[in-house]
Chain A
Amino acid sequence: MIRFENVGLAYGNEPEVLKNLSFSIKPGSFHFLTGPSGAGKTSLLRLFLLSLRPTTGKITMFGEKVSRLNQDRLLQLRRHIGIVFQEFRLLDHLTTFENVALPLRVLGQSESEYASNVKELLEWVGLGERIDAHPPLLSGGEKQRAAIARAVIGRPDILLADEPTGNVDPELAERLLHLFAELNRMGTTIIIATHELPLLDKFKYPRMQLSNGRLKIDGS
Chain B
Amino acid sequence: MLLITIMTFLSGVTLGAVVLVQKSAIAWSSEVGREVTIQIRPIEGEVMQSNVRTAITLANSAAGVSKAFALSLDESEELLIPWLGEGLDLSALPVPRLIIVELDRADAQDIAQLKASIETIAGASLNTHAAWRQQLNTMAGTFVISGLLVLFLIASATVLAIIFATRGTMSSNRAIVDVLHFIGASNSFIAGEFQGRFLRIGLRGSIAGAVASLLFFFGAGIAVSSILPDQSGAQLGALFGTFSLGFEGIIAVSLLVPAISALTAVTSRLTVQSFLRNTS
Contacts and interface: CB of A to CB of B under 8 A. Distances in A.
Interface of A: 49, 51, 71-72, 75-79, 81, 83, 85, 89, 91, 93, 102-103, 105-106, 150
Chain B CB count within 10 A is highest, among A72, A75, A91, A105, for A75
B270 to A, nearest CB: 18
B174 to A, nearest CB: 12
A102 B184 contact: no
Contact of A75 (B175, B179, B181): B181
A78 B186 contact: no
B179 A91 contact: yes
Given A71-B280, A106-B189, A79 B184 contact: yes
A103 B280 contact: no
Interface SS of A by simple majority: helix
A75 to B, nearest CB: 5
A79 B189 CA distance: 13
Interface residues of B, number: 13
A78 B189 CA distance: 14
B178 to A, nearest CB: 8
Nearest to B185: A106
A36 B180 CA distance: 29
Nearest to B197: A93
Nearest to B181: A75
In the A-B complex, list the 5 residue pairs whose CB atoms are closest, starting with the nearest.
Answer: A78-B184, A79-B184, A106-B185, A75-B184, A89-B179
A51 B189 CA distance: 19
Interface string B163-197: 00000000000011011111111100100000000
A201 B94 CA distance: 125
B176 A78 contact: no
Contact of A103 (B181, B183, B186): B183
A125 B156 CA distance: 52
A106 B188 CA distance: 10
Nearest to A89: B179
A205 B182 CA distance: 27
B176 A91 contact: yes
Contacts of B179: 89, 91
B280 A78 contact: no
15 contacts: A51-B182, A71-B280, A72-B186, A75-B185, A78-B182, A78-B183, A79-B183, A83-B183, A89-B178, A91-B179, A103-B183, A103-B184, A106-B185, A106-B186, A106-B189
Contacts of A72: 186
Contacts of A85: 182
Contact of B183 (A71, A93, A102): A102
A109 to B, nearest CB: 12
B121 to A, nearest CB: 86
Contacts of A93: 176
A126 to B, nearest CB: 23
Contacts of B178: 89
Nearest to A150: B183
Given A51-B181, A77-B184, A83-B183, 13 more contacts: A75-B181, A75-B184, A78-B184, A79-B183, A79-B184, A81-B184, A102-B180, A102-B183, A103-B184, A106-B183, A106-B186, A106-B189, A150-B183
Nearest to A78: B184
A51 B178 CA distance: 10
Contacts of B186: 72, 75, 106
A199 to B, nearest CB: 26
